A = this chain, B = another copy of it.
Amino acid sequence: MAADHSTPDPHGAARPDQAGAAPDPATVAAGLTVGVLGGTGDQGRGLARRLGLAGNRVIIGSRNPARAVAAAASVGSPPQVTGASNEDAARGSDVVIAAVPWEGHRDLLAQLAAALDGKILIDCVNPLAFDSRGAYPIRVEEGSAAEQAAQVLPGSTVVGAFHHVSAVLLLDPEVAEVDLDVMVRGDDRQATDLVQALAERIPGARGIYAGRLRNCAQVEALTANLVSINRRYKSHAGLRITDI
């Protein structure tokens, strides 16, 4: 189980010193190369754009490397943001965001298990279906998309995050800052600390620890409620956690 893995150190320069002091997550996050699997979709491109603007190197992955290169060009310029196959994006990155459609989620991650071994996999996939009445959650056998990822990636540390971040706002050049908290869930404290710090590289976002992997399903499914809210209020709704 991912809970028992020590977090991989994605950045040699920030390795703990001899006394064992933990590296500062914000410093480590600043130096990460971030892969975005399925990064040609709006959510993936939006995250790639904001992390690239923040100064991270980003590798957009796609089944079709040419499409990944085009997506990268649409949100940044090399070497800051580049495109590659999903496998090369996974291999070349320190941490990897899965922003793939739910339908191909399990198979793609299973194929990339070796490339993702020892890395943090950030899952932001929402298992949702749509009909005339709007969005609703799909029941997932493993509990949630994130738990499915943990099951097919026994050598990776899976963290759930970025589910409620509006792709429209991430991609909008008029939007300098978003107004939302990123609920980060996982069983490994060092990994969730790092993903919180990575979330905070997006201007306006705050990374909040919000529970273990077993509490991912409802966060993924809550995206259906945000879809309902957006329909009713013509908004790009996000969440803020109060009293912290």
Interface on A for B, CB 8 Å cutoff?
Answer: 133-137, 166, 179-180, 183, 185, 208-212, 214-215, 217-222, 224-225, 227-229, 232-233, 235-244
Output the least CB separation between A203 and chain B (Å).
14
- Contacts A209-B232, A225-B218 known; A242 to B244 CB distance under 8 Å? no
Output the least CB separation between A226 and chain B (Å).
8
Output the least CB separation between A25 and chain B (Å).
15
Assess the B239–A225 pair: CB atoms within 8 A: no
Assess the A136–B214 pair: CB atoms within 8 A: yes
- Contacts A239-B240, A242-B239 known; A218 to B224 CB distance under 8 Å? yes
Picked from B134, B136, B212, the residue with its CB within 8 Å of the CB of A228 is: B212
**Whole-angstrom distance between the alpha carbons of A208 and B215 in the complex?**
24
Assess the B244–A225 pair: CB atoms within 8 A: no
Assess the A225–B183 pair: CB atoms within 8 A: yes
Chain B residue numbers with a CB within 8 Å of A185 are 225
> Which residue of B is nearest A204, CB measured?
B242
Assess the A211–B224 pair: CB atoms within 8 A: yes
- Contacts A137-B218, A217-B221, A218-B221 known; A237 to B228 CB distance under 8 Å? no
Chain B residue numbers with a CB within 8 Å of A239 are 239-242
> Which residue of B is nearest A192, CB measured?
B232
**Whole-angstrom distance between the alpha carbons of A135 and B221 in the complex?**
18
Assess the B137–A217 pair: CB atoms within 8 A: yes
> Which residue of B is nearest A179, CB measured?
B242
> Which residue of B is nearest A166, CB measured?
B243
> Which residue of B is nearest A178, CB measured?
B242
Assess the B229–A134 pair: CB atoms within 8 A: no
Output the least CB separation between A241 and chain B (Å).
5
> Which residue of B is nearest A223, CB measured?
B218
- Contacts A219-B225, A222-B219 known; A180 to B212 CB distance under 8 Å? no
Output the least CB separation between A230 and chain B (Å).
9
Chain B residue numbers with a CB within 8 Å of A227 are 211
User: Which among A134, A135, A222 has the highest number of chain B CB atoms within 10 Å?
Assistant: A222
> Which residue of B is nearest A228, CB measured?
B211
Chain B residue numbers with a CB within 8 Å of A133 are 212
Assess the A209–B229 pair: CB atoms within 8 A: yes
Chain B residue numbers with a CB within 8 Å of A224 are 211, 215, 218
Chain B residue numbers with a CB within 8 Å of A212 are 133-134, 228
